[in-house]
Amino acid sequence: MADSSSSKTATLSIDGQSYDLPMYSPTAGPDVIDIRKLYAQAGVFTYDPGYTSTASCDSTITFIDGDKGELLHRGYPIDQLASKSHYLEVCYLLLYGELPSAAQLETFENTITRHTMIHEQMHNFFRGFRRDAHPMATMVGVVGAMSAFYHDSTDITDAHEREVASHRLIAKMPTIAAMAYKYSIGQPFVYPRNDLPYAANFLHMCFAVPAEEYVVDPILSRAMDRIFTLHADHEQNASTSTVRLASSSGANPFACIAAGIACLWGPAHGGANQACLQMLREIGTPDRIPEFLARAKDKDDPFRLMGFGHRVYKNFDPRAKVMKQSADEVLDLLGIEDNPTLQVAKELEKQALDDDYFVDRKLFPNVDFYSGIILEAMQFPMSMFTPIFAVGRTVGWISQWKEMLGDPQNKIGRPRQLYLGSTQRDYVDIENR
C-alpha cells in the first residue's frame, strides 16, 4: 500500500498559489504523485482520458516496463514462467504471491480439477441462446448467471467464500468456453475429465465427440497451456480495470468477472489476434505481401500491419518469443501446405523481419500474431479467439479482484469529468419550442 509518510513532494502552482503533493516511489517504474486531496485543497481535477498517466491503485501482482520489453508476475519474468512453468503453477503464483512447493501445487491442481463441472441446470442457459450467438455473448451471460447457482461463494466479506469463488471461476471457465463453442457448432457438450491436465482438458472438451475417441496431442496441449500462461495477467489493462471498477461497488465475483469478459470482447483489447487473422486473409496469398508492406509504410494509407508492434511494448513483446516457439512447433506438427492463411503468416513474418523499415521501428511480431497462427492451425474459428483469451485472463482478473478487496484504501470508483455541455437553462413547454 502507498506509504503515507513519504517525504518526497511535487509542487503545483495555480494562479500564484502553490500546493505540495506527496510523491511515492514504487519498487519498479516511475514515481507517482498523490492527487487525492487536490480537489479539496485547490478546487481542480486532473484531466487524463484513458487514464494513461494515472495510477488507479497500488499492486504487487504484475509489472510492465514497455520500453525494456519487460513483463514480471510477482517479480518473475514471463518468458521464464512460460518456458519452465505451466498455467496452473502461474495461477498459484498470481493468487498467492509465491511459487508453490510440490505439495502445494498438487493440492491446488486437485482443487481446480474437481471444480471443473458446472451445475447441470446451467445447460439450459446455453440452449436459450441462438445457435449463431457469438461465444463471448454466451460466456458473459453464463458467467454472470453463476451467482444464481453458487450462493455459497458470493459474500465478498468472507475470506473462505472468496477463495471458493476464485477456484470455481478458474476451474469452470474452460468448461463454459468449450460448451459455448460446442453449442455454436451444433455438437453435444463434452464433460470435463479429471485425468487430463488443464489445457488438454479444454482441448478435449472442444474437439472430442461421443462417437469416437479423441487423444490430445501433447504439442497442442503445451501450446494451449502457453497461450493461457502468456495471457494470465497484464497489469491494469481495460478489462482488469473494469473488473476492479465493478468490484469497487461490492458486486459479487461472478458479476465482476462477467464485466471483465464483456470488456475483453472489444476488438481493441481481446480481439487483436482475430484482427491479425482477418488481415492475413485480406492479404490472401504470399505474392501480395510486398503490396501490403508498402501500404503499411504509407502514412496516407489507412492499412495497418496487425500483430506487429504493441501499444505498451516499445521495444519487443517479451511474450512473443515463447509464443513463436509454440507456433513453430504447432505448424511443424500440423503443416501449413493446405492452409493459405498460415502460408501468408509465415512469409509475412519473414519479409517483415528482413525489412529495415519495420526493424528500425521495432515493429516485431507480437503475442497476438503468433497466438492467432496457433489457434488457426488448431482449427478454432475466429469467434473462439477471445473466449480462449478470457479463459487465460480469468486468474489475472481474480488476483486483482482479491487484492483490491484486501486493500484498506479501497473505495468505490468515481472518475471525474471535464464538462463541456450546456449550463443551467429553463425548461420550455413543447408548444413554445
Predicted pLDDT at 4: 45
d(CA 243, CA 241): 5
Q: Which of 217, 310, 356, 360 is catalytic?
A: 310
The answer to whether residue 368 is catalytic is yes
Q: Which CATH class is domain 9-55?
A: mainly beta
- Phi, psi angle pair for 48, to nearest 5°: -150, 75
The string of pLDDT tens digits covering residues 36-46 is: 999 999 999 99
Within its chain, how far is the Cα of 232 from the centroid? 7
Instruction: Inform me whether the pLDDT recorded for 131 exceeds 90.
Output: yes
Which class would CATH give 74-268+385-405? Answer: mainly alpha
Q: Supply the pTM of this predicted model.
A: 0.91
Which is the catalytic residue, given 225, 233, 317, 368? Answer: 368
| Backbone phi, psi, residue 191, to 5° | -75, 150
pLDDT, tens digit, for every residue of 165-198? 999 999 999 999 999 999 999 999 999 999 999 9
2-47 tens-digit pLDDT: 554 567 899 999 999 999 999 999 999 999 999 999 999 999 999 9
Domain ranges of the chain: 9-55, 74-268+385-405, 271-378
Pairing of strands 76-77, 70-73: antiparallel
Give the contacts of 96 (CB within 8 A, at least 6 positions apart). Answer: none
Q: Which residues pair with 209 in a beta bridge?
A: 212
Contact by Cβ (8 Å): 260, 70: no
Spatial distance between the Cα atoms of 366 and 317, rounded to a whole number of angstroms:
6
Per-residue pLDDT at 1: 52
Which numeric CATH code is attached to 271-378? Answer: 1.10.230.10
Active-site residue 86, yes or no?
A: no
Whole-number pLDDT of residue 288: 95
Rg (C-alpha) for the chain, rounded Å, is: 24
- Report the alpha-carbon angle 345-350-352, nearest 5: 90
